[in-house]
Amino acid sequence: MVYQSTRNNQVIATAAEAIATGISAEGGLFVPSEFPPMTLSEIAELAPLSYNGRAKVILSKFLTDFSKEELSDCVDSAYTVEKFGADPTPVVTLEDGEHILELWHGPTCAFKDMALQILPHLMRVSVAKKVPGKEIVILVATSGDTGKAALEGFKDAPHTRILVFYPENGVSPMQKLQMTTQEGENVAVCAIRGNFDDAQTGVKTIFTDPAVKGKLAEHDMLFSSANSINWGRLVPQIVYYFSAYADLLKEGKVKVGDPINVVVPTGNFGNILAAYYANKMGLPVNKFICASNSNNVLTDFFKTGEYDRRREFYATTSPSMDILISSNLERLLYDLTGCDDQAVSGMMNELKENGHYRVPDAVKKRLQAQFVGGFSTDDEVAETIRDTFENRGYLLDTHTAVAVRVYENYRKETGDKTPTVIASTANPYKFSASVLSALGADVTGADEFEKVALLQQHTGVQAPASLLSLKEKKVRFPQVCDREGQQAVVYEMLKIED
Ligand SMILES: *Cc1c(COP(=O)(O)O)cnc(C)c1O
């Protein structure tokens, strides 16, 4: 199994190389050159396995340069009962045919833990194989959840430093506290005056600047990435779609081979792409429903075939989806153009230079055969949180509510009764203020922890201990920088002279 770059498919890497380096030198993303098949009987055989057992089956098909023992150790070190509870990804049935896949039982209460708890282990093995002795510098741009999940995953990991940039006013107060109080000797966090796309563009620029790369090399350091452009972030996410299907099989809610719909609240397009890759391997999927908030660039894309980021940016109640440049869409385009690296490079250049691109009609046809886009406004999200809690007794966070609303609109419009799995991406307590106001509670004057207490009183749903404990922690990283100042912050953290 080898990996190719989406922008030059002559560039070939092993899994360990793809994970250790994060992104290809010319700016392309690594994709598998083929999708290892999972037959229906192999899928059925997943049903009796634990999550870790299922993960080992799926990951071993992609990470063929990892030994069985290495892979087993990575999986078992990541998904422990202490960190994830007895079942890392429970499937909760809201009503007949509508299932919620809870992906937020990890240490930071967001689905990103599913990938970021295992990535440091995959990285450790990959670095030892490919660039032994190097110190890895992880640069992260975050819209909120990635930053904390990456910090928690990589804190005190040997031979690793991690530096996180987040938009100063673009994350929830709980997310901000989670990051600014982060513990660990090898971590640093800095806010930037700008939005997520500014932070991400800055990180990408530093990452691919040969001068910076040279400076790091002088110090035996090497950049890598924990954003979902890294293959090591994506591949663990393929597992939970198979796992959800295996759970539905086990409970008799689908029969082997029955198709499901998958609904994903989407930002950078990583999570939904993982579902698409699961389907390429053989998971029976009818439709991929891509749910956006008011930053609905993807909804328009699936309708028109034109990706156009030239629009207003909205700060919504689902901040982890406030994104106008969905990096992982590049991987889907590579697949749908039949691995046409020139076409993909062309479109990505258009996006960079002019802020938009259009896919050829044949690609648009293929897109629309499998994907449906939809979006919900903040008001609709609030209404959905209230309805779902009052009428079905289930408490949604704002991101998952985007998905539930988009799915309900889809079902009304199409009458499609295919059993559906909705990815639930965060614990509602990460966004207590928005969830409380959705439920009609008055939160004026309450601080973040009073809001948590209020939400608990109001709903009877237990708040996670990891969030409650933040109250006692002290802020270690109050720093804020300008967009242009990101590179200086990187050097400062690494104690490198500019
Ligand atoms: C990151 C995130 C998303 C978006 O996931 P992508 O893989 O970037 O599309 C949705 N919801 C929450 C809570 C997130 O943290």
Q: Where are the domains of the chain?
A: 87-109+235-429
Mutate to test the pocket of ligand 1, among 29, 109, 111 (most ligand atoms within 8 A of CB): 111
Output the CA 268–ligand 1 centroid distance in Å.
7
Closest ligand 1 atom to residue 104 Cα is 13
Pairing of strands 306-308, 356-358: antiparallel
DSSP string, 108-158: TSBTTHHHHTTHHHHHHHHHHHHSTTPEEEEEEE-SSHHHHHHHHHHTT-T
pLDDT < 70: residue spans in the chain: none
DSSP string, 290-330: EEE-S--HHHHHHHHSEEE--S-----S-GGG--S--TTHH
CATH of 87-109+235-429, one of 3.40.50.1100, 1.10.3720.10, 3.30.1120.80, 3.30.1370.10: 3.40.50.1100
The answer to whether the CB of 1 falls within 8 A of the CB of 62 is: yes
Closest ligand 1 atom to residue 145 Cα is 15
Question: Can you tell me the distance from the alpha carbon of 16 to that of 259, in angstroms, rounded to the nearest whole number?
Answer: 33
Annotated catalytic, 68? no
- Give the closest residue (by CA) to ligand 1 atom 15: 145
Task: Quote the longest CA-to-CA distance of the chain.
Answer: 62
Mutate to test the pocket of ligand 1, among 112, 119, 272 (most ligand atoms within 8 A of CB): 112
Question: Can you tell me the distance from the alpha carbon of 274 to that of 239, in angstroms, rounded to the nearest whole number?
Answer: 8
Output the CA 110–ligand 1 centroid distance in Å.
8
Output the CA 315–ligand 1 centroid distance in Å.
15
The answer to whether the Cα torsion of 328, 326, 25, 145 is positive or negative is negative
Output the CA 424–ligand 1 centroid distance in Å.
10
Q: Which of 56, 112, 430, 451 is catalytic?
A: 112
The answer to whether the Cα torsion of 147, 404, 316, 393 is positive or negative is negative
Tokens of 457: 């009183």
Q: What is the enclosing helix (H) or strand (E) of 52?
A: helix 51-62
Closest ligand 1 atom to residue 112 Cα is 15
Distance of CA 364 to CAs 75, 230, 304, 305, 310, Å?
37, 26, 8, 5, 20
Mutate to test the pocket of ligand 1, among 178, 227, 271, 297 (most ligand atoms within 8 A of CB): 271
**What is the DSSP-derived secondary structure letter of residue 463?**
P
Residue of 471, 393, 396 whose CA lies nearest to 432? 396
DSSP string, 342-363: HHHHHHHHHHHHHSEEE--HHH
Q: What is the enclosing helix (H) or strand (E) of 202?
A: helix 196-208
Output the CA 322–ligand 1 centroid distance in Å.
9
Output the CA 379–ligand 1 centroid distance in Å.
20
Output the CA 238–ligand 1 centroid distance in Å.
15
- Give the closest residue (by CA) to ligand 1 atom 2: 320
**Which backbone phi and psi does 453 adopt, to 5 degrees?**
-60, -45
Ligand 1 contacts (CB < 6 A) are 110, 112, 145, 228, 265-271, 320-321, 399, 425-426
Q: pLDDT tens digit string along 308-352?
A: 999 999 999 999 999 899 999 999 999 999 999 999 999 999 999
Tokens of 153: 């995953």
Closest ligand 1 atom to residue 268 Cα is 8
The answer to whether the CB of 380 falls within 8 A of the CB of 409 is: no
Q: Which amino acid is at 238?
A: I
- Give the closest residue (by CA) to ligand 1 atom 8: 268
Mutate to test the pocket of ligand 1, among 399, 406, 431 (most ligand atoms within 8 A of CB): 399
Distance of CA 421 to CAs 106, 151, 243, 340, Å?
20, 29, 11, 31
Task: Estimate to the nearest angstrom the gap between the alpha carbon of 431 and the chain centroid.
Answer: 17
